[in-house]
Amino acid sequence: MNELFLGLDCSTQGLTAIIIEKNTSGVKFFHDLDFETTFPHYNTKNGVLLLDEKTVHSPPLIWIEALETMFDYMLKRGVEIEQIKAISGSAQQHGQVYLNSTFEKRLKNLNPKLSLAFQLEHVFSRNTSPIWMDSSTTEQCEEIRKALGGKEATIKITGSDTFERFSGPQIRKFYQKQPEKYGRTAIIHLVSSFLSSLLLGKNAPIDHGDGAGMNLMNIQSKKWDVRALNATAPGLKKKLPKLCASHKIIGKISPYFVKRYGFNPDTYIVAWSGDNPNSLIGVGLIEKGKVAISLGTSDTYFSYLKELSLDLKGEGHVFSAPTGDYMSLICYKNGSLTREYVKNSLGLSWQEFSRILMNTPPGNLGKIMLPYYLPEIVPLVLNPRIMRFGFDKFDMEGNVRGIIEGQFLSMKLHSQWINETPKEIMVTGGASINDEILQTIADIFGAHVNKLDITNSAVLGAALRSIYSYTRHFHGKISWRELINTHSKGRTIKRITPRLQYRQLYDDMVKLYKKHEDYYLNKGPNPEPFRKEFIRKYFQ
C-alpha cells in the first residue's frame, strides 16, 4: 500500500498542491490554481485587492474556495486520496483572518453535501484580510516600537523590528480604526492556521515559524510575549490561537473532508507554517554554507541559522525554523511584479527581455537603477519611485539590466549582516526559469547557483514536513538530512557558475549602489562622481 503525503501552499496569487511518497523522490501529483483567472468573481488582481496606494487585502473566501476546487480536481484526476497519510501546508506569511464566535461552531457542524465557502460565508468579523503587501501601518509600527523600548529592544524580543506588514501592527490598526469589529472578533488566525483549521474542523494553533513573523511572539521563549501583546491591543491574548512546534501533529482530518472527498479518517494534519520556513525545508537548507533566493511576488533571501543571531539594524528577520533552530530572512516587495512592470513598460516578451539581458554588459555601462516600483521593506521606502542614474525610461538595454542588477545588488548589500558569504545559492520561484537572471545572480554574489526542478519550494517543504512529523510520531527518530537527500535526487537541473572576471566589478558596484541608495533615501552626498569613476575604470 502506498503511503502518500500531501503538501499545500496558499501563496498570494494561487494555491498549489503536491503529493509525494515517503521513500521515493517521484512526484505523484502536482497542480496549481491561479486565483485571478480561476475565481474572477472575487475581482482580485494578482490575487489581491488594492484598496488604496498602501492598503492591500485579499478576500479570505477565495482561499476556502481554492481548497475545495483543488480537492475536486484531485478527485477528477483519480488521485488515491484515501492513501494520504498526512497533510501539512504553507501559506503567505503575515496575513490575518478575523473571525467571529460562530467560526468554530460551524466547522464542527459542516454539511458534506454543501460547499465550504457557502457554509462559512458569514464567519468573518472582517470581510477582507490584510496581507504582506500592505504598508499602511507606519503609525502603529512606531507606537509598538516605542512601547517596547525602541528598535533594538523590539528586535531582541520578537526577532524583528516592527514592520508594516507584520500582524501586530495590522491588528493594532484594526483595533484603533474599527474598535466595534475588533470587539466582535473571537479569534485572529494567520492564513496558515486558518486553512489548517478548515482541515482540522476546529481552531488550529499557529506554529513557531509563522508566529515569529507577527511581532507578538518572543523569539527566544517561543511564547506570546505579554509586553508585545499589551503594546498591540487590549484583550489580544484571548483572540490568538495557541502556539506549537512546527513538527506537531495537531489532529485528524475533519469528517467533512472524509465524507465529501474520501479522505481516510486517520489522515493526520501537521501544523501549517509560513511560506518562508517551508521553503527552507523545500530547498534543503538544514546546515550552514548555503542560502536560498526565492523569486516570486516578493523576493526573499534566506538561510539556516544554528544559533540565534539578530539584525539590530532592523532590516532582516529571524524566524523559528521547522528544524527547531532558526532562519534568517530578508524580504523585498519589489519582486516579480516590478520585473513584469519594467518588461511590460518596454513592450517586451520574456524571451526578448532575456535576450537583452544576455547581450548587455555586466555593470550596465555604469547605469544604476533603484527598483522601487512598490513600497519597499528593505530598505524602507514608503513613497515608491523607480530611480534611474545615467539613463532614462526609454533606454531598453539600460532598464532591462538595470532592474535585475538593482534588485540583486540590493540583496547582496542588505544581507551582509548575516556575516556569511554563500558558496552555493539555491534558487526557486517563478523567475528561476530564466537562466539569464540566474547568471546575473551568480556573478553578483560570486557563488554557484543551483536551479531546482520545482519552482515552488514552499509546497515541497510542506509535503516533506508532513512526512517528517508523521514518521517521527509513529516510528520514532527520523533524520532531516536523510529525508531531504531522498527527495532531492535530481532536483538540481542546472548549475550556473559565476564568471570570476566580473567579481571585482560587482564588488565595486555594490559599493556604488550603496552610495546611490544613501543619496536618494538619506540625502547623502551626490554619487555622480563615483559613478563616473566606475565607468572610467570598467568601460573606457
Quick one: 214 and 359 in the same domain?
no
Q: Which domain holds residue 508?
A: 336-416+500-539
Return d(Cα 457, Cα 400) in angstroms, integer: 27
Quick one: 386 and 530 in the same domain?
yes
Under-70 pLDDT residues of the chain: 1, 454-455, 489-491
Quick one: 111 and 234 in the same domain?
yes
Return d(Cα 233, Cα 172) in angstroms, integer: 6
Quick one: 246 and 343 in the same domain?
no
- In this structure, what C-alpha cell is assigned to residue 352? 526578448
Return d(Cα 328, Cα 339) in angstroms, integer: 24
Q: Give how far Cα 516 sits from Cα of 273, 299, 394, 529, Å.
A: 37, 21, 21, 11
Q: Is residue 353 within 8 Å of residue 401, measured between CB atoms?
A: no
317 strand-pairing partners: 329
Within a domain: residue 311?
no
Helix (H) or strand (E) holding 300: strand 299-305
- Contacting residues for 331 by C-beta, under 8 A, at least 6 apart: 132, 276, 298, 299, 300, 317, 377, 378
Q: Is residue 302 within 8 Å of residue 279, measured between CB atoms?
A: yes
Q: Is residue 310 within 8 Å of residue 218, measured between CB atoms?
A: no
Q: Give how far Cα 19 sits from Cα of 7, 8, 83, 115, Å.
A: 6, 9, 11, 23
Q: Is residue 15 within 8 Å of residue 63, measured between CB atoms?
A: yes
Q: Which of 271, 296, 318 is the last residue of a domain?
A: 271
Within a domain: residue 308?
no
pLDDT digits (tens, 9 = 90+) for 435-451: 999 999 999 999 999 98
Three-class DSSP category at 189 = strand
- Contacting residues for 38 by C-beta, under 8 A, at least 6 apart: 14, 66, 69
Return d(Cα 56, Cα 46) in angstroms, integer: 11
Quick one: 373 and 520 in the same domain?
yes
Helix (H) or strand (E) holding 232: helix 226-232
Within a domain: residue 323?
no
- Contacting residues for 402 by C-beta, under 8 A, at least 6 apart: 364, 367, 368, 369, 371, 388, 391
Q: Which of 271, 298, 325 is the last residue of a domain?
A: 271
Within a domain: residue 398?
yes
Within a domain: residue 475?
no
Quick one: 208 and 346 in the same domain?
no
CATH of the domain at 103: 3.30.420.40
Quick one: 138 and 240 in the same domain?
yes
Quick one: 169 and 63 in the same domain?
yes
Q: Read out DSSP for 396-460?
A: HHHHHHHHHHHHHHHHHHHTGGG----SEEEEESGGGG-HHHHHHHHHHHTSEEEEES-S-HHHH
Q: Which of 271, 299, 317 is the last residue of a domain?
A: 271
Within a domain: residue 474?
no
* Cβ neighbours around 205 below 10 Å, total: 22
| pLDDT given for residue 306 in this prediction | 87
Among residues 482, 510, 515, 310, which one has the least CA distance to residue 409? Answer: 510
Quick one: 264 and 342 in the same domain?
no
Number of domains in the chain: 2
Within a domain: residue 199?
yes
Quick one: 367 and 508 in the same domain?
yes
Q: Give how far Cα 101 sits from Cα of 91, 124, 192, 239, Å.
A: 24, 9, 19, 10
Quick one: 146 and 236 in the same domain?
yes
Quick one: 80 and 201 in the same domain?
yes
Within a domain: residue 458?
no
